[in-house]
Amino acid sequence: MRRFQERVLGSSRTDISCSDGDVWLLGVCHKISQQESTGDVDTRNVFAAFEQDFFSKILVTYRKGFDAIEDSKYTSDVNWGCMLRSSQMLVAQALLFHKLGRSWRKTTDKPVDKEYIDILQLFGDSEAAAFSIHNLLQAGKGYGLAVGSWVGPYAMCRTWEVLARNQRGTNEIGEQTLPMAIYVVSGDEDGERGGAPVVCIEDASKCCSEFSRGLVPWTPLLLLVPLVLGLDKVNLRYIPLLQSTFKFPQSLGILGGKPGASTYIIGVQNEKAIYLDPHDVKPVVNINVDTQEPNTSSYHCNIIRHMPLDSIDPSLAIGFYCRDKDDFDDFCSRASKLAEESNGAPLFTVAQSRSLSMQVTSSSVSGDNNTRFQEDGSLGMDLVNDAGTNEDDWQFL
């Protein structure tokens, strides 16, 4: 399996050099480059802090030996479930941020946090686990998800939207397994194609209101932005913008990798994309909160892998977590500034309302952006999303 993965992803690189610059890991800067210049104890501790931050991220990989999925004979997701596993990692990280905060670290010298165990249980490999691969496949049938088949990032984002909505309908407000609204930032409903997707503030507010059933005006929010940033490879003009998203305090990283081999990208160091790899095969484990010292080692990785950022598949999805309205306003401010610095080719933009977003979309496909589409060769192409329907929801940039 590792040899197969290396043929697809390329040989895994595990060397993180201090001379290559600082590392941004989901909104936190680890200034490891200072260690190279001074070499003192304090700066060596900076690299150790980076390693501990990386190790604390939840890893979800291929599993074998779980109960068969629905009526199939599949008891493993080896060779086809990497995008589902990558998305589980992103949502698990959002839950860690929400319940334990960005500064939480997994330690070996203290009792495990109950909230941490509760999160892991949600991603077990059975229908009883809320966010299991079994339930994701069920929720994503309308977007083409099927046992044994690979899935792309757009369909994956929409699947999480459906799964969260379904579970919200069966649970009380205070018992939500995903205690945050989901907003998938994608194509507009009127079928306009082209230009960058727009984070519509009114739509985000509507998602929060629907999540709380009108009880509060704003709730924690998980934003998912599926994108297609080129034809066979990412257009190089987007690389600096992708790098900058990891500097957002709200960053949840990127669902992306090589074609047909998804990973969860959680950081950057200059041109390197640092990622968690779901392609290792591990036996099913049952995490029980009643166990005094549950073994959670298979949910973490101490091997820091990276690949060139410009080698990732142009079809990807970016995630952000906003804890409250102030955090969302900060995200919008940063996103707007990033769009202004994009030389007319933003990843996404921000608008107050859908009517304003239409104006943004219209202007973004004129002038400089027309040149962009011609360079990418995307004008006139019939793009089909992962499910083969709703083609206008794709954002080809």
Catalytic residues: 82, 277, 279
Distance of CA 300 to the CA centre of its chain: 17
Residue written as tokens 């309205």? Answer: 325
Cβ atoms within 10 Å of 73's Cβ, excluding its own: 8
Cα distance between residue 124 and residue 163, in whole Å: 15
Query: 3-state DSSP call for residue 306?
Result: strand
How far lies 174's CA from each of 171, 177, 211, 321, 353, in Å?
A: 8, 9, 11, 19, 30
Cα distance between residue 218 and residue 212, in whole Å: 8
Residue 232's nearest CA partner among 205, 259, 271 is: 259
**Phi and psi for 54 in degrees, rounded to 5?**
-60, -45
Decide if 202 contacts 226 (C-beta within 8 A): no
Name the region of 213 (left: φ>0; alpha: ψ -120 to 50; beta: rest): left
According to DSSP H, which parts of the chain are helical? 2-9, 33-38, 41-55, 82-100, 114-122, 133-139, 153-168, 201-211, 239-245, 325-340, 354-364, 368-376
Crossing angle of helices 114-122 and 82-100, in 10° steps, is 150
Cα distance between residue 391 and residue 341, in whole Å: 29
Query: 3-state DSSP call for residue 249?
Result: coil
Cα distance between residue 309 and residue 230, in whole Å: 14
Cα distance between residue 357 and residue 368, in whole Å: 18
